[in-house]
Every structure is written in C-alpha cells, then in structure tokens.
Amino acid sequence: MAKADLSVTLAGVRLKNPIVPVSGTFGFGEEYGQFFDIERLGAFCAKGLTLRPRVGNPPPRIAETPMGMLNSVGLQNPGVDAFLEREWPRLQGLDLPVIANISGDTPAEYAAMCEKLSGAGVDMIEVNVSCPNVKAGGLAYGTKPELAAEVTKEAKDHAGGTPVMVKLSPNVTDITEIAKAVEGAGADAVSLINTLRGMRIDLNTRRPILKRNTGGMSGPAVLPVALRMVWEVHNAVKLPILGMGGVTNAETAVEMLLAGATAVGMGSALFADPMAAVKTVDGLADWCAAHGTTPKELTGGVLPWA
C-alpha cells in the first residue's frame, strides 16, 4: 500500500501532516518530547502568552466532566519576553512550524506581542480573542464582530508579514459573523472552536468545583458542536481553518477535515494519552492510504443532504 501524502498548507505555512497539538495542552513541547519525537507532528501551538507574566486563576481550576474536562487555568504563562528568551532558541531549531498563541487586554497589547514574535521569526501567530475564563479582554473581543475585527487589524498591522490566525469563540449566537469580521480585517486563517463555557457543582459543599465558578469545557463531548461550527465557517468565509474540539483519533480527524478544516487541532485527548497526536498521524496515514485520498482532498468534502 502506497503511503499517502499527508502534507497541507495552512495560511502559507507548509505542515508535513495536518495534526497540531493546540495551545494550552502542549506547554512549550519539552514535556511531550519525553514521549515521542515532536517533529513527527504537523506543527504545534505553544502555550498561550500574554505581554506580562500571569500566575493564572486560583485552584481548583480543573474539573472532570462526562467525556471531557473543564479548565479555568486563566492563561498562566511566563510572558512573551521570557518565552523568547528561554523557549524560543530551542523551538526554532525544530523541523516543524511553531505557532505562538497570544491573548491581551487591549489591542495595543496584541500589537506589542505581534511585533516581538514576528521579529523573532515564529511561523504563525494565533490571536486568541476567545478565552472564556479570564475577566477582561478576550471574551469581549471574541463575541463582538467589530471588536474582533479591531484586534485582528491591529495584529496584522504589527505582525510584519507573519501569518495571523484568529481563534474564535463558540460562545456566540452566530460564529460566522465573527469569522466574516476577522476575514474582512485581514486574518490569514481562523482556528475553532475554543472551549464552551461550562460548570460543575460539588454536592457536598453546594459550591462550584472551579474556584472561578465556570470554565472552558473541552473533550469528546464537544465534537458535534465543533464539527457544525467548522462546517458553517468553511461555508461562510474563504479562510483556511485549524479545526479543533473533541478530536481524539484518526477517524474524528477525518470528520474535522470533511467539515472544512485544513488542519486539525488536538487538545484534551493528549491529557488522557500523551501519544494521542502521533497515533492520530499514523492512523490518518493508514486511513488515507486505504481510501486512496489525502487530507487536502478531504477538506470540505462532506456531502450534506441539502
């Protein structure tokens, strides 16, 4: 059986395969490198960065849900300068694209981070306008088309030619309106979905399990929502899509491609099985070879009934 060509191009960046561990689930790659060669991946998205260091939200900030998890980590990170000083020298030597994810409280913060990261030479910048578990900035930007467009334009104006991908929130009435807004503002790609807002309650204390009361829900339970939104956005804009939400194996990755994704993000699955991403790469290669197809041919290939 001939090996399938798994390569894809996302916003002008070539990936050897479409599987991308998503921001917040893969750290800066060092821990997972103890389990497998991370250069086998298509790319990876580093942990979300802010302009200044953040300690994140108080614990408890992780809770289990049926077929998934809630998180309210709150963007704990060392800050963009520390990332560039401590992590980037190692990461830029890898044979795979590195996507830097950024969040800010103001458009000016996004602009400053884009300048720093593009100047350092990252392959792509993912602009997070949709973090559901911080008080300011991200949630508001991701739920209003005009604000999402404002941040997108500011990022593009300061990214120095580095592709800008905007991460969209599912916690909206119509995700296509946000997608159209960021496309009009110059985005090179979109990623979706970010986590859904959720809650669990401790029956003994009658308090929410998470200290911040609510958090972001991810995992296999969100797959049908993610597929629907990726399909809707694929049909609404011309931007390439990094599709994510509930992908756990090659079969669900194929579903995401058929819905309209160019590349496929994996997140919560990595906590259950650190090898999930490379298993999916191998499984996707087998599936494509058996069906005589490629990820590029699968993208948007769903055949709706009407």
Helix, strand or coil for residue 70? strand
Domain assignment of residue 175, yes or no? yes
CA distances (Å), origin 141, targets 53, 103, 182: 21, 10, 11
Residue 191's nearest CA partner among 164, 224, 167, 155 is 167
**Phi, psi for 49 (deg, rounded to 5):** -115, 150
In a domain, residue 2? The reply is no
CA–CA distance, 5 with 17 (Å, rounded to integer): 8
Q: Which pTM does this prediction carry?
A: 0.96
pLDDT at 3: 82
Residue 57 lies in a domain: yes
Does residue 155 belong to any structural domain of this protein?
yes
Sequence-ordered strand ranges (E) for 168-214: 189-192, 196-198, 201-202, 207-208
How many other CB atoms sit within 10 Å of the CB of residue 273?
12
Q: Which domain holds residue 161?
A: 8-298
In a domain, 274, yes or no: yes
SS3 245: coil
> In the numeric block, which tokens belong to residue 50?
């802010």
pLDDT attached to residue 142: 86
306 within some domain: no
Among all residues, which ones are annotated catalytic? 131
CATH code (residue 240): 3.20.20.70
Q: How many domains does the chain have?
A: 1
**Nearest-CA neighbor of 97 among 158, 152, 165?**
165
Which residues are within 8 A (CB) of 286 and not within 5 positions of it... i.e. 6 or more apart?
250
Tokens representing 290 are 């058996």
Give the pLDDT confidence of 31-67 residue by residue, as tens digits: 999 999 999 999 999 999 999 999 999 999 999 999 9
Which residues of the chain are under the pLDDT cut of 50?
132-138
What per-residue confidence (pLDDT) applies to 140?
66
**Using CA atoms, how far apart are residues 28 and 17, in angstroms rounded to an integer?**
19
> Which residue in 235, 222, 214, 233 sits closest to 269, CA to CA?
222
What is the distance of C-alpha 153 from the center of its chain?
Answer: 20
Per the document, the length of the chain is: 306
Spatial distance between the Cα atoms of 303 and 259, rounded to a whole number of angstroms:
9
Q: Give the E-state strand segments of the chain in sequence order.
A: 8-10, 13-15, 19-21, 44-45, 62-65, 68-71, 98-102, 124-128, 164-167, 189-192, 196-198, 201-202, 207-208, 215-218, 241-243, 263-266
Residue 73 belongs to a domain = yes
Residue written as tokens 């929410």?
208
- The per-residue pLDDT for 131 is 59
> Does residue 64 sit within a domain?
yes
